[in-house]
Structure 1
Amino acid sequence: MSHKPEKLFGTSGIRGTIKSKMTPSLCSKIGLTAASFFGEDSTILLARDHRPHATVVYHSLISGLLAGGVNILDCGIAPTPAVLFALKKLKYDGAIVVTGSHTPSEIVGILIFKEDTSELSKTESKEFEDILYEERYEIMQWNKTGYIEPIDIFDIYAESVLSLVNLQKVEGRKVAVDPGNGASSVILREILELANIRVVAINDTLDPHFPHRDPFPRPDNLKDLSTITKGFQADIGVGVDGDGDRAIFADENGNILWGDITGSLFIIDALKRKKTKNVVVTINTSAITEWAAKKFGGTVIYSGVGPPAIAESMKKNNAYFGIEESGKYLWSDAIYYGDAALATLRLLEILDIEGKPLSKLISEFPKFYMEKVAISCPDKLKDIVLVRAFEEWQERHKPAKVLPSDGIKFMYKDSSWVLFRPSGTEPVFRVFAESMDKERTKELIKESVDLVKELIKRHSTE
């Protein structure tokens, strides 16, 4: 190649549209690169979501993988965590999932997983990019190409998840589920029913257009889940993203909770059971997680955003549990990726152990007020906006602590903080602010958002 393209990997995997970044030509080369990365005669699991263009990327990958000498077990359409539980059980060399995950319908992605179910680290992603850009891959001779076979992984998925839960503590419960017409449609409901849980489901059919809500579950688009949870008199409700890893919960009154709230319950549970001393928390997660960890003798270790950063930090620090505020919960005894089915079952376990409804458990937490704003920002401006935001915010304020990661977090002695973070998956720049004082949060978010907008405008004209 005559020049090196832009960075391939984002926060989690490779994402784009088939008209630009994720072209069939590039995806077949990614398949060849993956064959070189995993090694000739490796065997991997391959799956996709139900978006029409995922099929295009899928077959392009297959072409490159087979030509590079890799054998494929074709899982078809499947939730990402299902593939990873199968990978763990069957002990193959890795897995690749083609999915847009929580992003809008037009986006498609490629997630690459190692044998231990974690995604490629930053170092490994750089190595992968170097192989691709330098064309250090090989098309095998006709008699050394790989083979492809279909595989049904549902039973492995269901049995693996259910084996991690005390089923006597969850049976008889009532759960409302909203898979959002994503890849976990039907499957999530069936796993819960296998645990003798009564389930009511909405948006429970595969639909690549996501007609009822977009695939990123959050309080503002889970109003139907809120209504049905309360109306069904369910113990909890759960809203899921496009590939089945994110889980945003509703309490029995229909109140939708961000992942750091329920994640704090998981932290407390892990510490009470003496499963861990260290817990990994992403840089954009509420300080409520630090309160929960400290109260029960744990230590918070901050990581970058996304499963690759969380998993790497968990392994490095011997942490049993990791969390991202978007509803991703990782347990080291399961897979190094989120799974809505396992999170739902483990939350029900906690309700049984504590003997209290979810609303009561979280009412015992101190109150933090967080606001999050996503601002449209071209990818080419993200780096300069982050640098200038850091410089100008530091001039205006004197934070108690600056925490750099895949963004810049300013932390203050009153437990308030501001985070400037360019998205690694979308053309947006994210700003977060949190405080125990609602008005201070509003002040911080307004000033930080105004600063980012002004910087984008300033540098767009250069």
Structure 2
Amino acid sequence: MQLFGSSGIRGVANEEVTPTLCLRIGLAVGTLVDGQAAVGRDTRATGEMLADATASGLASAGSDVDRLGVLPTPALQSYAEREGVPAVMITASHNPPQYNGIKLVGNDGIEFGVDQLERVEELLDDGTFEHARWDETGNARRVTSARREYVEEVVAAVDRERIAAADLTVALDPGHGAGSLTSPGLFRKLGCEVHTVNAQRDGSFPGRDPEPVPEHLADLGRLVRTTDADVGIAHDGDADRAIFFDEYGNYIEGDATLAVLAGATLDDGDSTVSAVTVSQRLVDVASEAGAELELTPVGSTRIISRVRELHDDGVSVPIAGEGNGGVLFPDHRLARDGAYTAARFLELLADRSASAVVEAVGGYHNVRTTVGYESDADRATLLAAAAAYADESEGELNDTDGYRLDFGDAWLLVRESGTEPVVRIYTEAHTEARAHELADGIGDRLDRALDG
């Protein structure tokens, strides 16, 4: 796929992701589906413009369009499954404010698979769109119930009585994104006392960058401490991810969260799916449960496609996901859902503190960093340097997506981002010094390559 990356289309709004592109994608989706479709968006300033263009393309192809307004991606997916209609989400997820993007969702509430996305790209390439007659173009209607129905669905899908009985205090940072409109009320319906920061809908994201990483979440750590909260929860821009802080206001690695949720979910004979960024924590948990672990290229699209294949073969996959806070519970819905993930984590806090919950998967240290580039030539230089480093290394190589090298006591991964002009570096080790040693070593190698 040339246009759709690891998690849909992303780019600078009105430069790379334009109304013209959205119009064409609306035409392509409308050509492939019959009758009706839905369009939603996150809080980004350019979202309404791009959603209008997408809806116009769908209507031009003959599709009636349900306009859902601003809502989390999982709320749009819930609507798509409930109503049996495909949907288009205008969102750039965790990317900075100037970005926007497009995710395509089927009438089962699941993101388009690789095959479906390739069909859309073929239509975009050859331009053979269906244009309805003037009197058969689609009509639009505004739907105002999707957010409320999503909240009710999540509350009904978890053990509300167990969570409410724990009398939990939640510190919440939706980051001015779509979760601002759903998560505060959702956690209150679960019986929690909720304190918020950055909870005003604002597409310029004045309080923090949409990506829920430690350097953007200092306010949440302070809120946990000042309110004596039991847990802190942060979302990205479209609230399909959840990141946590413990009761002391300390950031919890997303890999640790995925591992403890997997440990509470997996049984002997199950399988789980993650990306090549997988932490040894999940490797350990899957092994202890007697479950198989499969690795895919990075991105929800790849993970979802593999889970679908396993389900078709009769394999049980009760949990999957990545260590960035994007967790899937396929028995609920084969989709990343920040609020549902957070509610499942709250269930674990009924009899243990957040720090105690993750203590069982401790003992690892992670470093995440990036090297940016400005041209295709720079990109090629960086990837060539990474390949040379891998060739010279004594680590065991996995090249499913980039270059992952396992050293026994640690691992590192170098891969090109599917959503931004950066090469990402990931390391994990039993000691912080070893993790930084690996990250600094490959980072210096890439910097020297760019310098000539």
**CA RMSD across the alignment:** 1.8
AA of the residue aligned to 1:44: A
Query: Quick check: 1:382–1:422 contact (8 Å CA) kept in 2?
Result: no
| Count of matched residue pairs | 444
Which aligned pairs between 1:248-259 and structure 2 lie closer than 5 A?
248-259=243-254
**Deviations along 1:379-399, whole A, 9 cap, x unmatched?**
624763465235312332122
What is the percentage of aligned positions where both structures have the same residue? 28
Query: Quick check: 1:236–1:251 contact (8 Å CA) kept in 2?
Result: yes
Which aligned pairs between 1:238-317 and structure 2 lie closer than 5 A?
238-271=233-266, 274=267, 277-317=270-310
Distance 1:138 1:247, change over 3 A: same
| Aligned counterpart in structure 2 of residue 428 of structure 1, from 419, 422, 433 | 422
Distance 1:457 1:35, change over 3 A: farther
Which 5+ residue runs of structure 1 have no aligned equivalent?
A: 1-5
Provide the rounded CA distance (Å) in 2 between the counterparts of 1:397 and 1:222: 35
State the TM-score, normalizing by the size of structure 1.
0.92
Distance 1:10 1:435, change over 3 A: same
Query: Quick check: 2:77–2:109 contact (8 Å CA) kept in 1?
Result: yes
**Deviations along 1:105-128, whole A, 9 cap, x unmatched?**
010101111123222233322221
| Aligned counterpart in structure 1 of residue 26 of structure 2, from 19, 28, 31 | 31
| Aligned counterpart in structure 1 of residue 343 of structure 2, from 321, 342, 345 | 345
Query: Quick check: 1:260–1:323 contact (8 Å CA) kept in 2?
Result: no
SS at match of 1:389: helix
Provide the rounded CA distance (Å) in 1 between the counterparts of 2:22 and 2:70: 18
2:332 matched to which residue of 1?
Answer: 334
Give the deviation of 1:350 after TM superposition: 1.5
- Does 2:450 align with 1:452? no
Provide the rounded CA distance (Å) in 1 between the counterparts of 2:394 and 2:208: 41
- Does 2:137 align with 1:131? no
Distance 1:276 1:117, change over 3 A: farther
**Deviations along 1:9-35, whole A, 9 cap, x unmatched?**
111111112332222222211111111
Query: Quick check: 2:387–2:403 contact (8 Å CA) kept in 1?
Result: no
AA of the residue aligned to 1:342: Y
Moved more, 384-393 or 317-326: 384-393
**Deviations along 1:270-325, whole A, 9 cap, x unmatched?**
02xx3971111221132111112112222221122121111112222241211211
Provide the rounded CA distance (Å) in 2 between the counterparts of 1:347 and 1:200: 18
Distance 1:379 1:434, change over 3 A: farther
AA of the residue aligned to 1:411: D
State the TM-score, normalizing by the size of structure 2.
0.94
Which aligned pairs between 1:58-77 and structure 2 lie closer than 5 A?
58-77=51-70
**Deviations along 1:100-159, whole A, 9 cap, x unmatched?**
211110101011111232222333222211111101212111122112111121232012
SS at match of 2:150: helix
Provide the rounded CA distance (Å) in 2 between the counterparts of 1:160 and 1:379: 45
Provide the rounded CA distance (Å) in 2 between the counterparts of 1:443 and 1:308: 32
Distance 1:450 1:62, change over 3 A: same
1:357 matched to which residue of 2?
Answer: 353
Distance 1:404 1:394, change over 3 A: closer
2:46 matched to which residue of 1?
Answer: 53
- Does 2:182 align with 1:191? no
- Does 2:376 align with 1:396? no
AA of the residue aligned to 1:71: D
Give the deviation of 1:453 after TM superposition: 2.2
2:367 matched to which residue of 1?
Answer: 371
